[in-house]
Structure 1
Amino acid sequence: MTKSRFFRQVFLTFLCCVPAMQPLVSQQAESAKPAWIAGIESARLVDITSLEGTVYHVQGIDLDQEHVWVTSVDSQNKRAYLHQFNRTTAKLERTVDLTDGRRYHPGGFSIYKDSIWVPVAEYKPHSSAVLVELDKNTLRVKRRIVVPDHIGCLAVTDDSLVGGNWDSAQLYVWNVEGKRVRVIDNRSGHGYQDIKFAADGDLVGSGGGAVDWYSWPSMKPVRSLHSGSTDRGKPYTSEGMAIKGNDLYFLPEDGPAARLFHFSLAEPGISPLFHR
Protein backbone atom coordinates (compact mmCIF):
# COMPACT_ATOMS: atom_id res chain seq x y z
CA MET A 1 0.00 0.00 0.00
CA THR A 2 1.37 3.42 -0.97
CA LYS A 3 1.70 6.21 1.58
CA SER A 4 -1.08 8.22 -0.09
CA ARG A 5 -3.49 5.26 0.00
CA PHE A 6 -2.52 4.57 3.62
CA PHE A 7 -3.26 8.15 4.81
CA ARG A 8 -6.46 8.22 2.73
CA GLN A 9 -7.60 5.04 4.48
CA VAL A 10 -6.79 6.53 7.92
CA PHE A 11 -8.70 9.73 7.09
CA LEU A 12 -11.79 7.81 5.94
CA THR A 13 -11.69 5.70 9.08
CA PHE A 14 -11.58 8.88 11.19
CA LEU A 15 -14.60 10.35 9.37
CA CYS A 16 -16.56 7.20 9.97
CA CYS A 17 -15.77 7.33 13.67
CA VAL A 18 -16.72 11.00 14.25
CA PRO A 19 -20.53 10.59 13.99
CA ALA A 20 -20.36 7.75 16.49
CA MET A 21 -18.42 9.93 18.89
CA GLN A 22 -20.82 12.90 18.85
CA PRO A 23 -23.78 11.21 20.62
CA LEU A 24 -21.43 10.02 23.35
CA VAL A 25 -20.33 13.59 24.02
CA SER A 26 -23.96 14.76 24.00
CA GLN A 27 -25.01 12.01 26.40
CA GLN A 28 -22.18 12.92 28.74
CA ALA A 29 -23.26 16.58 28.69
CA GLU A 30 -26.86 15.60 29.39
CA SER A 31 -25.89 13.35 32.26
CA ALA A 32 -23.85 16.20 33.77
CA LYS A 33 -26.95 18.43 34.03
CA PRO A 34 -28.62 18.67 37.46
CA ALA A 35 -31.75 16.54 37.68
CA TRP A 36 -33.91 19.62 38.35
CA ILE A 37 -32.85 21.62 35.27
CA ALA A 38 -36.20 21.01 33.54
CA GLY A 39 -38.25 21.59 36.69
CA ILE A 40 -37.90 22.97 40.20
CA GLU A 41 -35.09 21.77 42.43
CA SER A 42 -36.28 19.43 45.21
CA ALA A 43 -39.79 19.37 43.75
CA ARG A 44 -41.86 16.89 41.76
CA LEU A 45 -44.05 17.90 38.82
CA VAL A 46 -47.57 16.75 39.70
CA ASP A 47 -49.65 17.93 36.76
CA ILE A 48 -50.05 20.50 33.98
CA THR A 49 -53.38 22.20 33.28
CA SER A 50 -54.19 24.22 30.15
CA LEU A 51 -56.41 27.19 30.95
CA GLU A 52 -59.30 27.60 28.52
CA GLY A 53 -60.01 31.27 27.94
CA THR A 54 -58.44 34.51 26.78
CA VAL A 55 -55.52 35.88 28.77
CA TYR A 56 -52.86 38.26 27.52
CA HIS A 57 -49.34 38.74 28.92
CA VAL A 58 -49.56 36.85 32.22
CA GLN A 59 -48.39 38.67 35.36
CA GLY A 60 -49.65 36.90 38.48
CA ILE A 61 -51.60 33.96 39.82
CA ASP A 62 -53.35 32.80 42.97
CA LEU A 63 -55.92 30.13 43.70
CA ASP A 64 -58.21 28.52 46.23
CA GLN A 65 -60.11 25.22 46.18
CA GLU A 66 -62.63 26.38 43.59
CA HIS A 67 -60.92 29.00 41.42
CA VAL A 68 -57.71 30.06 39.73
CA TRP A 69 -57.21 33.80 39.31
CA VAL A 70 -54.79 35.31 36.79
CA THR A 71 -53.71 38.87 36.08
CA SER A 72 -52.68 39.81 32.55
CA VAL A 73 -51.82 42.95 30.63
CA ASP A 74 -53.02 43.79 27.13
CA SER A 75 -50.13 46.06 26.19
CA GLN A 76 -51.49 46.90 22.75
CA ASN A 77 -54.73 48.32 24.12
CA LYS A 78 -53.25 49.37 27.50
CA ARG A 79 -55.67 47.39 29.63
CA ALA A 80 -55.24 45.54 32.94
CA TYR A 81 -57.27 42.41 33.63
CA LEU A 82 -58.08 39.95 36.40
CA HIS A 83 -59.40 36.62 35.10
CA GLN A 84 -61.28 33.99 37.10
CA PHE A 85 -61.08 30.32 36.02
CA ASN A 86 -62.92 27.32 37.37
CA ARG A 87 -60.28 25.11 38.97
CA THR A 88 -62.07 21.86 38.09
CA THR A 89 -62.87 22.58 34.43
CA ALA A 90 -60.05 25.12 33.76
CA LYS A 91 -62.61 27.22 31.89
CA LEU A 92 -62.78 31.03 32.10
CA GLU A 93 -65.70 32.27 34.21
CA ARG A 94 -65.20 36.03 34.62
CA THR A 95 -62.85 38.84 33.59
CA VAL A 96 -62.62 42.22 35.32
CA ASP A 97 -60.96 45.30 33.82
CA LEU A 98 -58.73 46.95 36.44
CA THR A 99 -57.28 49.69 34.25
CA ASP A 100 -56.72 52.93 36.14
CA GLY A 101 -55.97 55.64 33.58
CA ARG A 102 -52.26 55.44 32.76
CA ARG A 103 -51.93 52.50 35.14
CA TYR A 104 -52.59 49.31 33.18
CA HIS A 105 -49.94 46.86 34.44
CA PRO A 106 -51.49 44.41 36.95
CA GLY A 107 -48.82 42.51 38.84
CA GLY A 108 -48.36 39.46 41.01
CA PHE A 109 -51.19 39.50 43.56
CA SER A 110 -52.49 37.74 46.65
CA ILE A 111 -55.71 36.36 48.06
CA TYR A 112 -56.25 37.16 51.72
CA LYS A 113 -59.39 35.90 53.43
CA ASP A 114 -62.31 37.27 51.38
CA SER A 115 -60.22 39.78 49.44
CA ILE A 116 -57.99 39.78 46.37
CA TRP A 117 -55.21 42.39 46.48
CA VAL A 118 -53.88 43.44 43.07
CA PRO A 119 -51.28 46.13 42.29
CA VAL A 120 -51.98 48.05 39.08
CA ALA A 121 -49.08 50.23 37.98
CA GLU A 122 -47.81 52.38 35.19
CA TYR A 123 -45.82 50.21 32.79
CA LYS A 124 -42.44 51.74 33.64
CA PRO A 125 -40.10 51.90 36.64
CA HIS A 126 -40.13 54.79 39.15
CA SER A 127 -43.74 55.62 38.39
CA SER A 128 -46.92 54.99 40.40
CA ALA A 129 -49.36 52.26 41.27
CA VAL A 130 -52.68 51.67 42.97
CA LEU A 131 -53.16 48.74 45.36
CA VAL A 132 -56.66 47.48 44.69
CA GLU A 133 -58.60 45.35 47.18
CA LEU A 134 -61.46 43.40 45.56
CA ASP A 135 -64.17 41.29 47.10
CA LYS A 136 -63.26 37.69 46.21
CA ASN A 137 -66.88 36.73 45.56
CA THR A 138 -68.22 39.73 43.64
CA LEU A 139 -64.88 41.05 42.28
CA ARG A 140 -66.05 44.54 43.18
CA VAL A 141 -63.49 47.07 44.39
CA LYS A 142 -63.48 47.52 48.17
CA ARG A 143 -60.47 49.81 48.58
CA ARG A 144 -57.76 51.60 46.57
CA ILE A 145 -54.39 52.79 47.89
CA VAL A 146 -52.23 54.95 45.61
CA VAL A 147 -48.44 54.60 46.06
CA PRO A 148 -45.60 56.60 44.42
CA ASP A 149 -43.69 53.79 42.65
CA HIS A 150 -44.28 50.98 40.21
CA ILE A 151 -45.44 47.94 42.20
CA GLY A 152 -45.19 44.67 40.29
CA CYS A 153 -46.11 42.14 42.99
CA LEU A 154 -47.99 42.19 46.28
CA ALA A 155 -48.18 39.87 49.30
CA VAL A 156 -50.62 40.28 52.20
CA THR A 157 -50.48 39.23 55.83
CA ASP A 158 -52.52 40.03 58.95
CA ASP A 159 -51.16 43.54 59.50
CA SER A 160 -49.06 44.32 56.44
CA LEU A 161 -48.98 44.71 52.68
CA VAL A 162 -45.62 43.93 51.06
CA GLY A 163 -44.97 45.10 47.51
CA GLY A 164 -42.03 44.76 45.17
CA ASN A 165 -41.19 47.58 42.78
CA TRP A 166 -39.74 47.12 39.27
CA ASP A 167 -37.94 43.71 39.33
CA SER A 168 -38.40 43.89 43.13
CA ALA A 169 -35.21 45.86 43.60
CA GLN A 170 -36.91 47.07 46.76
CA LEU A 171 -39.76 45.75 48.87
CA TYR A 172 -42.13 48.25 50.47
CA VAL A 173 -44.10 47.44 53.58
CA TRP A 174 -47.37 49.26 54.36
CA ASN A 175 -49.77 48.83 57.22
CA VAL A 176 -53.35 47.90 56.39
CA GLU A 177 -54.28 51.59 56.21
CA GLY A 178 -51.71 52.10 53.46
CA LYS A 179 -49.05 53.95 55.46
CA ARG A 180 -45.54 52.98 54.41
CA VAL A 181 -43.59 51.69 57.41
CA ARG A 182 -40.51 50.03 55.92
CA VAL A 183 -38.32 49.73 52.79
CA ILE A 184 -36.22 46.59 52.26
CA ASP A 185 -33.44 46.35 49.68
CA ASN A 186 -33.53 43.08 47.74
CA ARG A 187 -29.97 41.73 47.88
CA SER A 188 -30.74 38.31 46.40
CA GLY A 189 -30.03 39.32 42.80
CA HIS A 190 -33.38 37.78 41.81
CA GLY A 191 -36.00 40.00 40.25
CA TYR A 192 -39.16 38.68 41.89
CA GLN A 193 -42.23 38.67 39.67
CA ASP A 194 -44.62 37.27 42.27
CA ILE A 195 -44.44 37.12 46.07
CA LYS A 196 -46.66 35.36 48.58
CA PHE A 197 -46.85 34.63 52.28
CA ALA A 198 -46.69 30.89 52.94
CA ALA A 199 -48.86 29.19 55.54
CA ASP A 200 -45.96 29.13 58.03
CA GLY A 201 -45.51 32.90 57.72
CA ASP A 202 -42.44 32.95 55.48
CA LEU A 203 -42.34 35.40 52.58
CA VAL A 204 -41.75 33.56 49.30
CA GLY A 205 -40.45 35.29 46.16
CA SER A 206 -40.30 33.83 42.64
CA GLY A 207 -38.20 35.24 39.82
CA GLY A 208 -34.77 35.30 38.23
CA GLY A 209 -34.62 31.52 37.99
CA ALA A 210 -35.18 30.89 41.70
CA VAL A 211 -37.79 30.56 44.43
CA ASP A 212 -36.62 32.10 47.71
CA TRP A 213 -38.00 31.85 51.27
CA TYR A 214 -37.47 34.50 53.96
CA SER A 215 -38.42 34.55 57.62
CA TRP A 216 -40.87 37.36 58.30
CA PRO A 217 -40.42 40.06 59.45
CA SER A 218 -36.65 39.58 59.89
CA MET A 219 -36.17 38.87 56.14
CA LYS A 220 -33.51 36.32 57.02
CA PRO A 221 -32.94 33.98 54.02
CA VAL A 222 -34.32 30.52 54.76
CA ARG A 223 -34.33 28.50 51.57
CA SER A 224 -33.60 28.93 47.84
CA LEU A 225 -34.52 26.54 45.03
CA HIS A 226 -33.26 26.73 41.46
CA SER A 227 -35.77 26.74 38.61
CA GLY A 228 -35.58 25.37 35.10
CA SER A 229 -37.80 26.01 32.08
CA THR A 230 -40.85 24.55 30.41
CA ASP A 231 -40.66 22.47 27.25
CA ARG A 232 -41.40 25.74 25.42
CA GLY A 233 -38.25 27.29 26.87
CA LYS A 234 -40.06 29.61 29.27
CA PRO A 235 -38.53 29.84 32.79
CA TYR A 236 -41.06 28.68 35.37
CA THR A 237 -40.37 31.73 37.54
CA SER A 238 -40.79 34.28 34.76
CA GLU A 239 -44.32 35.33 35.78
CA GLY A 240 -47.01 34.08 38.18
CA MET A 241 -46.36 31.91 41.26
CA ALA A 242 -48.52 30.69 44.13
CA ILE A 243 -47.74 28.51 47.14
CA LYS A 244 -50.31 26.47 49.06
CA GLY A 245 -48.83 24.35 51.80
CA ASN A 246 -46.36 21.98 50.15
CA ASP A 247 -47.56 22.81 46.63
CA LEU A 248 -46.06 25.33 44.22
CA TYR A 249 -47.93 26.63 41.17
CA PHE A 250 -46.47 28.52 38.20
CA LEU A 251 -48.09 30.19 35.20
CA PRO A 252 -45.09 31.29 33.11
CA GLU A 253 -46.65 31.37 29.64
CA ASP A 254 -48.94 33.90 27.98
CA GLY A 255 -52.31 33.16 26.47
CA PRO A 256 -53.68 31.60 24.46
CA ALA A 257 -52.78 28.11 25.70
CA ALA A 258 -51.37 29.31 29.03
CA ARG A 259 -50.48 26.30 31.19
CA LEU A 260 -50.58 25.98 34.97
CA PHE A 261 -47.70 23.88 36.35
CA HIS A 262 -48.19 22.22 39.72
CA PHE A 263 -45.16 21.02 41.70
CA SER A 264 -44.99 19.25 45.05
CA LEU A 265 -42.11 20.30 47.29
CA ALA A 266 -39.83 17.79 48.96
CA GLU A 267 -39.71 17.86 52.72
CA PRO A 268 -37.45 20.72 53.89
CA GLY A 269 -34.90 18.36 55.43
CA ILE A 270 -34.23 16.79 52.04
CA SER A 271 -33.05 20.00 50.40
CA PRO A 272 -29.37 20.89 50.88
CA LEU A 273 -30.32 24.55 50.57
CA PHE A 274 -32.67 24.56 53.54
CA HIS A 275 -30.99 26.43 56.38
CA ARG A 276 -33.61 26.93 59.08
Structure 2
Amino acid sequence: MKMKRILAVTAIAVATLTAGTSAVATSGQTLKGLTPEAEAFSKVDRNTQWQQVQKLKLDFPTFHPQGMSLVGDKIFLSSVEIIEPTVRYPSPVDGYDRSTGKGRGHVFVIDRQGKLLKDIVVGEDTVYHPGGTDFDGSKLWVPVAEYRPNSRSIVYTVDPDTYEVKEEFRQSDHVGGVVADRKTNRISGVSWGSRKLFTWNGEGRLLGTQANPSHFIDYQDCEYAGVGHQLCSGVTNLKTADGKPFQLGGLALTDLATADIVHEVPSQLFSTAGHSMTRNPVALESDGDVLRMFAAPDDGEEVAGTELFVFEARP
Protein backbone atom coordinates (compact mmCIF):
# COMPACT_ATOMS: atom_id res chain seq x y z
CA MET A 1 0.00 0.00 0.00
CA LYS A 2 2.81 2.37 0.94
CA MET A 3 4.60 1.63 -2.33
CA LYS A 4 1.42 2.42 -4.29
CA ARG A 5 1.17 5.78 -2.54
CA ILE A 6 4.82 6.60 -3.21
CA LEU A 7 4.46 5.68 -6.87
CA ALA A 8 1.31 7.79 -7.17
CA VAL A 9 2.99 10.83 -5.63
CA THR A 10 6.06 10.33 -7.83
CA ALA A 11 3.89 10.05 -10.93
CA ILE A 12 2.17 13.33 -10.15
CA ALA A 13 5.51 15.07 -9.59
CA VAL A 14 6.94 13.71 -12.84
CA ALA A 15 3.82 14.67 -14.76
CA THR A 16 4.04 18.20 -13.39
CA LEU A 17 7.68 18.56 -14.42
CA THR A 18 7.46 16.97 -17.85
CA ALA A 19 4.26 18.71 -18.85
CA GLY A 20 5.68 22.17 -18.17
CA THR A 21 2.38 23.07 -16.55
CA SER A 22 1.25 26.65 -16.69
CA ALA A 23 -1.85 28.68 -16.06
CA VAL A 24 -2.85 32.24 -16.82
CA ALA A 25 -3.54 34.27 -13.69
CA THR A 26 -6.02 37.14 -13.50
CA SER A 27 -3.07 39.54 -13.64
CA GLY A 28 -1.98 38.04 -16.97
CA GLN A 29 1.10 36.35 -15.54
CA THR A 30 1.91 32.72 -16.37
CA LEU A 31 2.38 30.21 -13.57
CA LYS A 32 4.62 27.21 -14.05
CA GLY A 33 4.75 24.19 -11.76
CA LEU A 34 1.11 23.88 -10.77
CA THR A 35 -0.19 20.43 -9.89
CA PRO A 36 -2.19 18.71 -12.65
CA GLU A 37 -5.36 19.38 -10.66
CA ALA A 38 -4.65 23.10 -10.43
CA GLU A 39 -3.65 23.25 -14.10
CA ALA A 40 -6.95 21.64 -15.09
CA PHE A 41 -8.94 23.83 -12.69
CA SER A 42 -7.44 26.98 -14.22
CA LYS A 43 -9.40 26.09 -17.39
CA VAL A 44 -12.73 25.56 -15.61
CA ASP A 45 -15.40 28.24 -16.03
CA ARG A 46 -19.16 28.57 -15.57
CA ASN A 47 -19.76 26.75 -18.86
CA THR A 48 -17.77 23.67 -17.84
CA GLN A 49 -19.99 20.58 -17.84
CA TRP A 50 -19.65 18.40 -14.74
CA GLN A 51 -21.05 14.86 -15.05
CA GLN A 52 -21.89 12.83 -11.96
CA VAL A 53 -20.18 9.45 -12.40
CA GLN A 54 -20.64 7.96 -8.95
CA LYS A 55 -22.55 8.39 -5.68
CA LEU A 56 -21.41 6.28 -2.76
CA LYS A 57 -23.58 5.84 0.33
CA LEU A 58 -21.25 5.72 3.32
CA ASP A 59 -22.71 3.07 5.65
CA PHE A 60 -21.30 4.42 8.93
CA PRO A 61 -22.07 7.54 11.02
CA THR A 62 -20.18 10.40 9.36
CA PHE A 63 -21.62 13.28 11.42
CA HIS A 64 -20.55 16.69 9.94
CA PRO A 65 -17.76 16.19 7.33
CA GLN A 66 -15.13 18.94 7.15
CA GLY A 67 -12.02 18.06 5.11
CA MET A 68 -11.05 15.47 2.50
CA SER A 69 -7.71 14.31 1.11
CA LEU A 70 -7.00 11.63 -1.51
CA VAL A 71 -4.02 9.43 -0.66
CA GLY A 72 -3.51 6.68 -3.24
CA ASP A 73 -6.49 4.35 -2.99
CA LYS A 74 -7.57 5.79 0.38
CA ILE A 75 -9.80 8.76 1.15
CA PHE A 76 -9.26 10.62 4.43
CA LEU A 77 -12.41 12.41 5.62
CA SER A 78 -12.32 14.62 8.72
CA SER A 79 -15.57 15.14 10.62
CA VAL A 80 -16.96 16.60 13.85
CA GLU A 81 -19.37 14.63 16.04
CA ILE A 82 -21.57 16.94 18.12
CA ILE A 83 -22.44 15.52 21.53
CA GLU A 84 -23.66 18.77 23.07
CA PRO A 85 -24.26 21.79 20.78
CA THR A 86 -22.67 25.15 21.52
CA VAL A 87 -24.99 27.79 23.02
CA ARG A 88 -24.82 31.46 22.10
CA TYR A 89 -24.35 33.88 24.99
CA PRO A 90 -26.63 36.96 25.30
CA SER A 91 -23.39 38.96 25.47
CA PRO A 92 -19.73 37.90 25.15
CA VAL A 93 -18.24 35.93 28.04
CA ASP A 94 -14.46 36.16 28.40
CA GLY A 95 -14.33 37.27 24.77
CA TYR A 96 -16.34 34.31 23.43
CA ASP A 97 -19.75 34.53 21.76
CA ARG A 98 -20.82 30.97 22.68
CA SER A 99 -20.11 28.00 24.92
CA THR A 100 -17.64 25.28 23.95
CA GLY A 101 -20.22 22.51 23.63
CA LYS A 102 -19.05 18.90 23.64
CA GLY A 103 -17.95 16.70 20.78
CA ARG A 104 -15.48 14.33 19.25
CA GLY A 105 -13.18 14.77 16.26
CA HIS A 106 -12.77 12.03 13.68
CA VAL A 107 -10.62 11.30 10.66
CA PHE A 108 -12.32 8.50 8.74
CA VAL A 109 -10.21 6.40 6.39
CA ILE A 110 -12.30 4.89 3.60
CA ASP A 111 -11.55 3.10 0.36
CA ARG A 112 -12.73 4.19 -3.09
CA GLN A 113 -15.84 2.04 -2.72
CA GLY A 114 -16.87 3.86 0.46
CA LYS A 115 -15.92 1.14 2.95
CA LEU A 116 -14.69 2.34 6.34
CA LEU A 117 -11.13 1.17 7.01
CA LYS A 118 -10.31 3.15 10.17
CA ASP A 119 -11.80 5.73 12.52
CA ILE A 120 -9.03 7.94 13.93
CA VAL A 121 -10.10 10.08 16.90
CA VAL A 122 -8.35 13.48 17.14
CA GLY A 123 -8.48 16.43 19.53
CA GLU A 124 -8.70 16.84 23.30
CA ASP A 125 -11.26 18.14 25.78
CA THR A 126 -13.06 21.16 24.20
CA VAL A 127 -10.82 21.04 21.11
CA TYR A 128 -12.84 18.61 18.97
CA HIS A 129 -13.68 20.30 15.64
CA PRO A 130 -11.44 19.06 12.77
CA GLY A 131 -11.12 21.28 9.73
CA GLY A 132 -9.88 21.17 6.15
CA THR A 133 -7.00 18.74 5.56
CA ASP A 134 -3.99 18.50 3.26
CA PHE A 135 -1.69 15.62 2.28
CA ASP A 136 1.93 16.72 1.78
CA GLY A 137 3.19 13.53 0.11
CA SER A 138 4.11 11.77 3.34
CA LYS A 139 1.65 12.82 6.03
CA LEU A 140 -1.84 14.25 6.44
CA TRP A 141 -2.23 17.65 8.12
CA VAL A 142 -5.36 18.03 10.28
CA PRO A 143 -6.27 21.10 12.38
CA VAL A 144 -8.66 20.58 15.31
CA ALA A 145 -10.24 23.59 17.04
CA GLU A 146 -12.85 24.60 19.56
CA TYR A 147 -16.25 24.97 17.88
CA ARG A 148 -16.30 28.76 18.21
CA PRO A 149 -14.41 31.71 16.71
CA ASN A 150 -11.32 33.30 18.29
CA SER A 151 -10.66 30.19 20.35
CA ARG A 152 -7.76 27.69 20.23
CA SER A 153 -6.53 24.87 18.02
CA ILE A 154 -4.14 21.95 17.77
CA VAL A 155 -2.58 21.08 14.41
CA TYR A 156 -1.85 17.37 13.99
CA THR A 157 -0.30 15.15 11.35
CA VAL A 158 -1.44 11.59 10.63
CA ASP A 159 0.68 8.86 9.08
CA PRO A 160 -1.46 7.49 6.20
CA ASP A 161 -0.04 3.97 6.59
CA THR A 162 0.21 3.45 10.36
CA TYR A 163 -2.49 6.01 11.30
CA GLU A 164 -0.21 7.38 14.01
CA VAL A 165 -1.32 10.84 15.18
CA LYS A 166 1.30 13.45 16.10
CA GLU A 167 0.75 16.90 17.54
CA GLU A 168 2.70 19.48 15.51
CA PHE A 169 1.80 22.81 17.15
CA ARG A 170 -0.93 24.85 18.84
CA GLN A 171 -2.51 28.16 17.95
CA SER A 172 -4.53 30.59 20.09
CA ASP A 173 -7.27 30.98 17.51
CA HIS A 174 -9.75 28.86 15.56
CA VAL A 175 -7.90 27.20 12.67
CA GLY A 176 -10.41 25.91 10.15
CA GLY A 177 -8.05 24.42 7.57
CA VAL A 178 -4.34 24.04 6.79
CA VAL A 179 -2.13 23.56 3.73
CA ALA A 180 1.51 22.45 3.69
CA ASP A 181 3.59 24.43 1.18
CA ARG A 182 6.08 21.96 -0.36
CA LYS A 183 8.21 24.79 -1.74
CA THR A 184 8.79 26.80 1.45
CA ASN A 185 8.01 24.14 4.08
CA ARG A 186 5.62 26.65 5.63
CA ILE A 187 2.10 25.86 6.80
CA SER A 188 -0.78 28.09 5.79
CA GLY A 189 -4.19 28.15 7.42
CA VAL A 190 -7.58 29.84 7.58
CA SER A 191 -9.55 31.08 10.57
CA TRP A 192 -13.23 30.73 11.42
CA GLY A 193 -15.03 31.64 8.20
CA SER A 194 -11.60 32.01 6.55
CA ARG A 195 -11.64 35.76 7.22
CA LYS A 196 -8.07 35.59 8.53
CA LEU A 197 -5.15 33.79 6.87
CA PHE A 198 -2.25 32.35 8.90
CA THR A 199 1.33 31.45 8.00
CA TRP A 200 3.55 29.30 10.26
CA ASN A 201 7.07 27.97 9.75
CA GLY A 202 7.73 24.23 9.75
CA GLU A 203 8.06 24.21 13.55
CA GLY A 204 4.69 25.87 14.06
CA ARG A 205 5.90 29.39 14.89
CA LEU A 206 3.39 31.95 13.67
CA LEU A 207 5.05 34.14 11.04
CA GLY A 208 2.11 36.39 10.35
CA THR A 209 -1.58 36.84 9.55
CA GLN A 210 -3.46 38.79 6.92
CA ALA A 211 -7.06 39.51 6.04
CA ASN A 212 -8.63 37.37 3.34
CA PRO A 213 -9.07 39.73 0.36
CA SER A 214 -11.84 37.56 -1.10
CA HIS A 215 -15.41 37.81 0.18
CA PHE A 216 -16.86 35.54 -2.49
CA ILE A 217 -16.93 32.37 -0.36
CA ASP A 218 -15.70 31.18 3.03
CA TYR A 219 -13.00 28.58 2.41
CA GLN A 220 -13.92 25.22 3.93
CA ASP A 221 -11.27 22.87 2.53
CA CYS A 222 -7.98 23.63 0.75
CA GLU A 223 -5.17 21.58 -0.79
CA TYR A 224 -1.70 22.41 -2.05
CA ALA A 225 -1.75 23.34 -5.74
CA GLY A 226 1.97 23.62 -6.51
CA VAL A 227 4.36 26.57 -6.89
CA GLY A 228 3.18 28.31 -3.70
CA HIS A 229 -0.55 28.09 -4.42
CA GLN A 230 -3.62 26.38 -2.99
CA LEU A 231 -6.97 25.17 -4.29
CA CYS A 232 -9.87 26.00 -1.97
CA SER A 233 -13.56 25.18 -1.91
CA GLY A 234 -16.29 26.63 0.22
CA VAL A 235 -19.67 28.28 0.50
CA THR A 236 -21.41 31.51 1.50
CA ASN A 237 -24.89 31.53 3.02
CA LEU A 238 -27.06 34.19 1.36
CA LYS A 239 -30.76 35.01 1.13
CA THR A 240 -33.03 35.49 -1.88
CA ALA A 241 -35.26 38.54 -2.31
CA ASP A 242 -38.07 36.85 -0.38
CA GLY A 243 -35.77 35.93 2.51
CA LYS A 244 -35.21 32.28 1.70
CA PRO A 245 -31.74 30.88 2.41
CA PHE A 246 -29.44 30.21 -0.52
CA GLN A 247 -25.97 28.70 -0.59
CA LEU A 248 -23.45 30.10 -3.05
CA GLY A 249 -20.61 27.62 -3.49
CA GLY A 250 -17.35 27.98 -5.33
CA LEU A 251 -13.71 27.03 -5.81
CA ALA A 252 -10.64 29.24 -5.95
CA LEU A 253 -6.97 28.98 -6.84
CA THR A 254 -5.04 31.41 -4.64
CA ASP A 255 -1.47 32.52 -3.97
CA LEU A 256 -0.34 31.33 -0.51
CA ALA A 257 2.03 34.26 0.03
CA THR A 258 -0.09 37.17 -1.17
CA ALA A 259 -3.61 35.65 -0.93
CA ASP A 260 -4.27 36.93 -4.47
CA ILE A 261 -7.01 35.16 -6.39
CA VAL A 262 -5.56 33.49 -9.49
CA HIS A 263 -8.76 31.86 -10.72
CA GLU A 264 -12.19 31.24 -9.19
CA VAL A 265 -15.54 29.88 -10.32
CA PRO A 266 -18.94 29.38 -8.68
CA SER A 267 -20.31 25.89 -8.13
CA GLN A 268 -23.64 25.15 -9.80
CA LEU A 269 -23.95 21.62 -8.40
CA PHE A 270 -26.29 20.71 -5.55
CA SER A 271 -26.69 17.69 -3.31
CA THR A 272 -29.56 15.38 -2.42
CA ALA A 273 -30.37 17.59 0.58
CA GLY A 274 -30.18 20.75 -1.55
CA HIS A 275 -26.77 21.96 -0.40
CA SER A 276 -24.08 23.44 -2.61
CA MET A 277 -21.68 20.65 -3.58
CA THR A 278 -18.79 22.66 -2.08
CA ARG A 279 -20.45 23.23 1.30
CA ASN A 280 -18.38 20.59 3.09
CA PRO A 281 -15.17 18.80 2.03
CA VAL A 282 -13.99 18.66 -1.59
CA ALA A 283 -10.98 16.96 -3.17
CA LEU A 284 -9.79 17.14 -6.77
CA GLU A 285 -7.67 14.79 -8.83
CA SER A 286 -6.46 14.81 -12.43
CA ASP A 287 -6.64 11.74 -14.66
CA GLY A 288 -5.37 12.52 -18.15
CA ASP A 289 -7.71 15.12 -19.60
CA VAL A 290 -10.31 14.44 -16.88
CA LEU A 291 -10.66 16.59 -13.76
CA ARG A 292 -12.38 14.59 -11.04
CA MET A 293 -14.12 16.13 -8.03
CA PHE A 294 -15.05 14.28 -4.83
CA ALA A 295 -17.55 16.00 -2.52
CA ALA A 296 -19.46 15.16 0.66
CA PRO A 297 -21.80 18.17 1.05
CA ASP A 298 -24.47 16.72 3.36
CA ASP A 299 -24.31 15.88 7.05
CA GLY A 300 -24.89 12.28 8.07
CA GLU A 301 -28.35 12.85 9.59
CA GLU A 302 -29.65 14.87 6.63
CA VAL A 303 -29.94 12.05 4.09
CA ALA A 304 -29.86 8.97 6.34
CA GLY A 305 -26.14 8.61 5.75
CA THR A 306 -23.56 10.77 4.02
CA GLU A 307 -23.31 10.46 0.25
CA LEU A 308 -19.92 10.83 -1.42
CA PHE A 309 -20.42 12.34 -4.88
CA VAL A 310 -17.91 11.97 -7.71
CA PHE A 311 -18.05 14.30 -10.74
CA GLU A 312 -15.88 14.50 -13.84
CA ALA A 313 -15.23 17.32 -16.29
CA ARG A 314 -13.02 17.87 -19.33
CA PRO A 315 -12.23 21.59 -19.08
The reply to whether TM is greater than 0.5 is yes
1:96 corresponds to: 120
Q: Indicate the structure with greater strand content.
A: 2
> Which residue among 98, 103, 108 is the counterpart of 1:83?
108
User: Highest CA radius of gyration, 1 or 2?
Assistant: 1
1:231 corresponds to: 272
Any stretches of 5+ residues in structure 1 without a counterpart? 1-39, 268-276
- The alignment's TM-score, normalised by the length of structure 2, stands at 0.68
- Aligned residues with identical type, % of pairs: 27
Q: CA deviation at 1:138?
A: 1.3
2:193 corresponds to: 167
The answer on whether the counterparts of 1:52 and 1:91 sit within 8 Å (CA) in structure 2 is yes
> Which residue among 236, 241, 249 is the counterpart of 2:282?
241
> Which residue among 105, 109, 118 is the counterpart of 2:142?
118
1:195 corresponds to: 222
Matches within 5 A, 1:194-273: 194-199=221-226, 201-208=228-235, 209-228=249-268, 229-245=270-286, 246-255=291-300, 256-267=304-315
Cα deviation per residue 1:229-268 (whole Å; 9 max; x = unaligned)? 223201111110112233322111122521222233443x
The answer on whether the counterparts of 1:79 and 1:97 sit within 8 Å (CA) in structure 2 is yes
- The alignment's TM-score, normalised by the length of structure 1, stands at 0.77
Any stretches of 5+ residues in structure 2 without a counterpart? 1-45, 84-101, 236-248
Q: Indicate the structure with greater helix content.
A: 1
**C-alpha distance in 1, partners of 2:205/2:163?**
24
Q: CA deviation at 1:48?
A: 2.3
The DSSP-based 3-state class of the residue aligned with 2:144 is strand
**C-alpha distance in 1, partners of 2:47/2:230?**
18
The DSSP-based 3-state class of the residue aligned with 1:237 is coil
Cα deviation per residue 1:90-119 (whole Å; 9 max; x = unaligned)? 111110111311101011111112211100
**C-alpha distance in 1, partners of 2:49/2:168?**
37
The DSSP-based 3-state class of the residue aligned with 1:205 is strand
Question: Is 1:50 aligned to 2:57, yes or no?
Answer: yes
Cα deviation per residue 1:200-234 (whole Å; 9 max; x = unaligned)? 65311211211111134333211111113223201
Aligned AA (1:121): A
Matches within 5 A, 1:102-141: 102-141=126-165
Q: CA deviation at 1:120?
A: 0.5
Q: What is the number of equivalent residue pairs in this alignment?
A: 228
The answer on whether the counterparts of 2:212 and 2:259 sit within 8 Å (CA) in structure 1 is no
Which 10-residue stretch deviates more, 216-225 or 111-120? 216-225
Change in 2 beyond 3 A, CA 1:175/1:75: same
**C-alpha distance in 2, partners of 1:243/1:125?**
28
